[in-house]
């Protein structure tokens, strides 16, 4: 008997990020107990990665905590998240889509039919075809990326006390990372390397747009710039990187900057597998969705949420920001859309918030919290950032496990603040 012959109808969610998990968990907690539908969650990894803490892992000396402790602070096993819920997890990778047969093609499993499909695969690093950039730089998208970056900087500091570290891209990831790296190098000086002037490190933040944090509220931009400058970080804006070699990045205005370590956080694009799915794509390679988060095809059974979805806000006429709150809102909406479709109710349009709250950590116990209705900065903002993490952990995990994970993270990430 094939999957298509099964009595079950499959609701497939691909991707266990913020949007995918929100969709799967909302469905699982509201779908009738006795139903012909089965929820299937697919991800090539066995864990959910808490991406807001990636920059923290990249900036904690390995002598403080072993790699196992660091990994367990950011990678949450999917088996723990779905325990006791009507969700079947398949660790696999999407390689194709058969629209005629309404099936997803997986690398190991093969064809898997679906009644409803939710694509939440996140994004990939975009190097914009800049010559030499991918070969010369390190990205920050996964836990392995964070560990590799940390190890490279630590090794380089032990060999050469005076370094030049360049971060390309002054969005949220680039700003949080470079601010935390300042603490990282000083921690190495005090507790590990024990050499004079080991903190003689030049930090250089480059952004192609006229200002750092493009698209952010002016309050956040102004205070973030002031904070970065107080940490001694050199900021260059208004000129994109045009090429890179093993030692130097070159800019469109003719300037150049030497580096010992180059980190690229300057852009993302849709997953490359989308080119094989025969679905409508935006200029950034993400899936174009309609007002109800359905992918714009003749078939109304495919949805997209999170970073891999291109949803245009009907009020601003701009795409929604690619952040966790937006992805979770989209995932919640799609879950209720699928539940409504099962019950036979009419589709409803997704209503995005006019503005999404955002918290930006800018080194040490200092963060900028733009909560829409109020602005908070400093230690209070840092505390709010951790409370937001606790709230999220309590959504995806039983509260005792969530509390233990949260406290472990607070302890770990405060170690070099």
**Residue appearing with tokens 């560990």:** 147
Q: Is the pLDDT of residue 113 over 70?
A: yes
Helix ranges (DSSP H) in 278-398? 324-343, 379-396
How many CB atoms within 10 Å of residue 29? 10
Q: What pLDDT is attached to residue 199?
A: 63
Over residues 257-316, the pLDDT tens digits come to 999 999 999 999 999 999 999 899 999 999 999 999 999 776 789 999 999 999 988 888
How many CB atoms within 10 Å of residue 217? 15
Q: What pLDDT is attached to residue 161?
A: 72
Q: Is the pLDDT of residue 404 over 80?
A: yes
Grade residue 159 by pLDDT with cuts at 50, 70 and 90. Answer: confident
Q: Where are the domains of the chain?
A: 9-44+92-123+270-343, 125-268+358-413
DSSP letter at 190 equals I
- If 0-12 CB within 10 Å is exposed, 13-18 middle and 19+ buried, where does residue 15 land? buried
Q: What pLDDT is attached to residue 63?
A: 67
Q: What pLDDT is attached to residue 234?
A: 97
Instruction: Give 125-268+358-413's CATH code, choosing from 1.10.287.3510, 3.90.600.10, 3.40.50.360, 3.50.50.100.
Output: 3.50.50.100
Grade residue 1 by pLDDT with cuts at 50, 70 and 90. Answer: very low
Gap between the Cα atoms of 319 and 66, Å rounded = 40
Instruction: Point out the least confidently predicted range of 120-124, 146-150, 228-232, 398-402.
Output: 146-150
Instruction: Point out the least confidently predicted range of 17-26, 63-72, 148-157.
Output: 63-72
Q: What pLDDT is attached to residue 286?
A: 96
Over residues 328-348, the pLDDT tens digits come to 999 999 999 999 999 999 999
Interval 359-384 mean pLDDT: 95
Structure tokens at 61: 């000396």
**Residue appearing with tokens 């804006």:** 237
Over residues 122-146, the pLDDT tens digits come to 999 999 999 999 999 999 999 999 9
Q: Is the pLDDT of residue 207 over 90?
A: yes
Residues 6+ apart with CB under 8 A from 147: 57, 58, 67, 70, 71
Gap between the Cα atoms of 250 and 243, Å rounded = 5
Interval 71-89 mean pLDDT: 94
Strands (E), 85-184: 87-91, 94-98, 103-106, 110-113, 116-119, 124-125, 163-168
Structure tokens at 352: 């995005």
**CA-based R_g, the chain, Å:** 22
pTM above threshold 0.85: yes
- Comparing 187 with 218, the larger pLDDT belongs to 218
Interval 146-154 mean pLDDT: 90
Q: What pLDDT is attached to residue 33?
A: 84
Least Cα distance to 202 among 161, 169, 168, 170 occurs for: 161
Could you check whether 9-44+92-123+270-343 and 125-268+358-413 share the same CATH topology?
A: yes
Q: What pLDDT is attached to residue 64?
A: 66
Q: What pLDDT is attached to residue 96?
A: 96
For 78, 89, 251, 342, the CA distances from 83, given in Å and listed in that order, are 8, 10, 50, 24
Exposed e or buried b per residue across 162-179, where buried means at least 16 C-beta atoms within 10 angstroms of its C-beta: ebbbbbbbbbbbbbbbbb
Q: Is the pLDDT of residue 193 over 60?
A: no
Q: What percent of the chain has pLDDT over 90?
A: 76
Sign of CA dihedral 224, 225, 231, 236: positive
CATH architecture of 9-44+92-123+270-343: 3-Layer(bba) Sandwich (3.50)
DSSP letter at 362 equals -
Backbone angles phi, psi at 88, to 5 degrees: -100, 130
Residue-averaged pLDDT of the chain: 92
DSSP letter at 301 equals T
Strands (E), 148-200: 163-168
Bridge partners, 295 (sequence order): 289
Gap between the Cα atoms of 204 and 125, Å rounded = 20
Q: What percent of the chain has pLDDT over 70?
A: 93
Q: What share of the chain is helix, strand, coil (3-state, %, to 5)?
A: 35, 25, 40
Q: What pLDDT is attached to residue 198?
A: 52
Q: What pLDDT is attached to residue 190?
A: 64
Q: What is the dihedral of CA 337, 339, 341, 343, to 10 degrees?
A: -140
CB 44 within 8 Å of CB 333: no
**Planar angle of CA 184, 412, 409, nearest 5 degrees:** 130
């Amino acid at each position: 008997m094939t999957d298509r012959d099964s009595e079950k109808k499959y609701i497939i969610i691909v991707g266990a990020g913020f949007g995918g998990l929100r969709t799967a968990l909302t469905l699982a907690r509201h779908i009738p107990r006795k139903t012909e539908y089965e929820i299937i969650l697919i991800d090539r990894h066995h864990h959910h990665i808490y991406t807001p803490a990636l920059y923290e892992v990249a900036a904690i000396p390995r002598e403080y905590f072993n790699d196992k402790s660091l990994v367990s602070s950011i990678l949450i096993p999917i088996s723990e998240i779905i325990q006791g819920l009507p969700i079947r997890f398949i660790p696999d990778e999407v390689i194709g889509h058969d629209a005629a047969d309404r099936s997803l093609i997986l690398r190991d499993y093969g064809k898997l039919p679906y009644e409803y499909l939710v694509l939440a695969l996140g994004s990939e690093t975009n190097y914009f075809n800049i010559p030499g950039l991918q070969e010369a730089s390190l990205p920050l998208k996964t836990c392995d990326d964070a560990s590799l970056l940390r190890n490279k900087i630590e090794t380089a500091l032990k060999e050469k006390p005076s370094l030049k570290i360049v971060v390309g891209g002054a969005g949220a990831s680039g700003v949080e990372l470079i601010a935390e790296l300042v603490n990282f190098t000083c921690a190495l000086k005090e507790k590990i390397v024990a050499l004079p002037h080991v903190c003689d490190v030049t930090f250089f933040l480059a952004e192609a747009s006229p200002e750092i944090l493009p698209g952010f509220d002016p309050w956040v931009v102004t205070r973030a710039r002031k904070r970065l400058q107080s940490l001694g970080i050199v900021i260059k804006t208004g000129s994109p990187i045009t090429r890179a070699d093993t030692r130097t990045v070159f800019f469109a205005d003719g300037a150049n900057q030497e580096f010992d370590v180059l980190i690229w956080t300057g852009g993302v694009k849709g997953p490359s597998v989308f080119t094989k799915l025969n679905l409508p794509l935006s200029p950034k390679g993400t899936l174009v969705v309609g007002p109800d988060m359905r992918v714009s095809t003749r078939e109304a059974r495919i949805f997209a949420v999170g970073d891999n979805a291109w949803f245009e806000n009907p009020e601003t006429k701009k795409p929604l920001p690619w952040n966790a709150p937006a992805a979770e809102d989209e995932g919640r909406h799609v879950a209720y859309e699928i539940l409504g479709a099962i019950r036979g109710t009419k589709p409803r349009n997704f209503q995005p918030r006019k503005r999404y709250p955002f918290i930006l950590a800018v080194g040490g116990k200092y963060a900028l919290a733009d909560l829409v209705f109020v602005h908070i900065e400093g230690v209070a903002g840092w505390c709010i950032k951790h409370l937001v993490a606790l709230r999220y952990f309590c959504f995806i995990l039983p509260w005792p496990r969530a509390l233990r994970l949260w406290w472990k993270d607070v302890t770990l990430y405060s170690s070099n603040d």
